[in-house]
Amino acid sequence: MTTQTQNPTLTVEEMNAKYQSSISVIEQIENVLQEKLASGPAAAQANRLVAMGLAKQAYAMLENVGNTLQYLNTPELPVDAETNNPLAALVHVAEEIVEALMDQFGVEKEAVVPFVYGMNAIMIPVIDDLLTKAQEKLAEADALTEAANVTA
């Protein structure tokens, strides 16, 4: 018998907060890598390279989450909204993209928001896990560098 785990339900606000938090973690990892990438023994450098790869993968996924969060955060505008309103123009572009996807795949418009929401609810924990693993690799690299400095 297999156990099926479900992602906890996240609100859009929680998704936004996790997105911002992940951006901060990636920036911290980048700062560490700029300072220490080539320091220490080869094993430490390898761990930092792994951390860099994980952070880059997380960032690529996070970009997609950020784009879809913009769609989820777009407020509904009244039908009579001014045509020169920049927000109305943004909503119009988003709707055109959604309509193109609906035409291409034959899905109902009502399926788009749950799809975007569901993908984000799954991807955010995956991104968190990648960033946690990247931070662990950086800690391992620091420990290896420290050990090499002690024995030197």
Confidence of residue 73 (pLDDT cuts 50, 70, 90): confident
CB neighbour class for 48 (10 Å; exposed up to 12, middle 13-18, buried from 19):
buried
pLDDT digits (tens, 9 = 90+) for 107-116: 888 888 888 8
Whole-angstrom Cα distance, residue 96 to residue 122?
Answer: 25
Average pLDDT over residues 31-36: 97
User: At 3, phi and psi to the nearest 5?
Assistant: -100, 130
Q: Which residues are CB-neighbours of 120 under 8 A, at least 6 positions away?
A: 10, 15, 65, 68, 69, 72
Which position has the higher pLDDT, 86 or 125?
125
Confidence of residue 1 (pLDDT cuts 50, 70, 90): very low
Domain range annotation of the chain: 12-78+120-151
Whole-angstrom Cα distance, residue 141 to residue 46?
Answer: 8
Which position has the higher pLDDT, 88 or 106?
106
**pLDDT tops 50 at residue 37:** yes
Which position has the higher pLDDT, 41 or 72?
41
* Cβ atoms of residues 64 and 123 within 8 Å: yes
Confidence of residue 3 (pLDDT cuts 50, 70, 90): very low
**pLDDT tops 60 at residue 80:** no
pTM for the predicted model, two decimal places: 0.77
